[in-house]
Structure 1
């Protein structure tokens, strides 16, 4: 049985072309990407040991080996951090002897006050599982008509992979799907992520499970939404990590003047509609 660490190494090896590392092209290969022998030589380890790592038969590589593999695969900083994280959880160092705490669903009062101060901006509080725990009225306006907030307990990951409107609402659905799948690995514990996977996988299908096991480190570029109003919104995202809570405060900012104008229009109620004033 494989491990997250082995899956990631194999996925990166398969997606790395020898020419990109200055290695000769040996002609047709049975599998795409970098040969196992080439990676082993670059990392200074044996092919047998690399095979054991990829197949999950060795779960405790040293820090030196992990760093050597990162160098050999020319990983960028985000990918290096993910490789180290996977080495840690694969080695069983993540609270293996204690029952993991479930992810928090309550939002601290000071965080709620921060959201209030961000009004009428576009912001939400979420966790690595994708639960939308709190949001501003601006976020509700932008997501209105998408179907995300129709659920009693909105979950962005479940929405992306199972809701019929998601693939249309997110102009770059594949990128967003990669982000949501990747974030499950960064949840409060592997056990919680596995529990959530067991709940989601039966209804999300192979699109979800394949992305989860590919370990694609997302770039998190401009978020493009096909808003039900007929306009495309382009939003930048700034994320504040609430590490103690296992949550994130995400603020969405218009990426261009056109998006800013559309968001301003969304905030103005249509003529003829009465608005309650307290």
Structure 2
């Protein structure tokens, strides 16, 4: 994880916690969003100086007891607690096994491309930690191209989601999708300056819809689930997605999309120009 990410995450949750939820007055003279640093330090029974060092990234190895006290004081959800645990574990691992940050992967092995072609009935693509679409099969091309996702020489999912109005038309749960993409960028940063450069460019281009989420640090959602999609040619679709890590480096992922109900299976058959019933719906 990026140096200081643990502290930045704690600060984001402190600033998002309304004082009233912990029994403190919410007066009009407050200049700090959420809790003040001194208030959180009191609730967690740590010193303000130590909390300052944590939030500024000058201390990256808090004890489990301190993390638990901060999590309780911040009233973190189970997902937030798990993310906090992962950040702390990553900091310990970096000190035990220091290594350089690998470059962002932009090439796909021939065997992975062959795998994409082998799943010819299922829309699937390969992505890296910036959300670049590195390779995809014909079913995914037919699914994604009418949405504008594959426009340009280097298609990128987060960039399309935030900059293309067709993305908002395609996803009824656009805000949830946006949270997930920002959370994934944070989760996969791995000390890579290219991620921060990408986030800076996207923030300058989009403004608050991205910048606010980047600062707020939403926690990643599951790597599988069901998404509702309003396709301009096929109509409403419910797609079950699964995310699989490709290779040993863990810097590329293959994402496959399956119909989540019989109606979607029928519409996908029509979109892909194949005989009905080639791809069965999975249980939702």
TM-score bucket (shorter structure): 0.7 to 0.9
What secondary structure, in the 3-state scheme, does the structure 2 residue paired with 1:208 have? helix
Matches within 5 A, 1:251-262: 251-262=256-267
Is this contact kept in 1: 2:5–2:57, CA < 8 A? no
- Equivalent residues in 2 for 1:7-46, closer than 5 Å: 7-16=8-17, 23-24=22-23, 26=25, 28=27, 30=30, 33-34=34-35, 36-37=37-38, 39-46=40-47
Return 132-141 or 229-238, whichever deviates more.
Answer: 229-238
Q: Aligned partners of 1:209, 1:3: CA distance in 2, in Å? A: 18
- TM-score, normalisation: structure 2: 0.78
Secondary structure of 1:165 counterpart: helix
Paired position in structure 2 for 1:158 = 159
C-alpha separation between the residues in 2 aligned to 1:175 and 1:43? 31
Tell me how far 1:98 sits from its aligned partner. Answer: 6.3
* Alpha-carbon shift at residue 90 of structure 1 (Å): 7.6
1:11-50, Cα deviation, whole Å (9 max, x unpaired): 2234345676xx4354547355456455334433123432
1:101 and 2:87 correspond: no
- Helix, strand or coil for the counterpart of 1:150? coil
Contact between 1:234 and 1:255, CA under 8 Å: does it hold in 2?
yes
Match of 1:272 in 2: none
Corresponding residue SS for 1:134 = strand
Show the counterpart of 1:115. Answer: 116
Q: Tell me: CA distance 1:142–1:89, structure 2 relative to 1, closer, same or farther (3 Å).
A: same
Comparing 82-91 with 153-162, greater Cα deviation is found at: 82-91
Distance 1:39 1:258, change over 3 A: farther
Alignment TM-score, normalising by the size of structure 1: 0.79
Find the counterpart in structure 2 of residue 179 from structure 1. Answer: 180
Q: Which of 225, 230, 236 pairs up with 1:226?
A: 230
Distance 2:272 2:234 in 1: 16
Correspondence list, 1:1-278, <5 A: 3-16=4-17, 23-24=22-23, 26=25, 28=27, 30=30, 33-34=34-35, 36-37=37-38, 39-54=40-55, 56=56, 58-64=58-64, 65-87=66-88, 93=94, 100-185=101-186, 186-220=188-222, 222-229=226-233, 231-242=235-246, 244-268=249-273
User: 1:139 Cα shift?
Assistant: 1.3
Q: 1:41 to 1:236 in 2, by over 3 A?
A: farther
RMSD between aligned alpha carbons?
A: 3.2
SS in 1 for 2:172: coil
Q: 1:122 to 1:3 in 2, by over 3 A?
A: same
Q: Residues 188-245 of structure 1, C-alpha deviation per residue, up to 9 Å, x if partnerless?
A: 4332212222333322322222211211013355322221126121222211123514
Change beyond 3 A, Cα 1:98–1:166: same
Deviation at 1:142, TM superposition (A): 1.5
Structure 2 distance, partners of 1:245, 1:7, is 24
Q: Which runs of 5+ in 2 are unaligned?
A: 275-284
**Whole-angstrom distance in 2 between the partners of 1:188 and 1:154:** 22
Compute the displacement of 1:182 (Å): 1.7
CA contact (8 A) 2:183 2:219 kept: yes
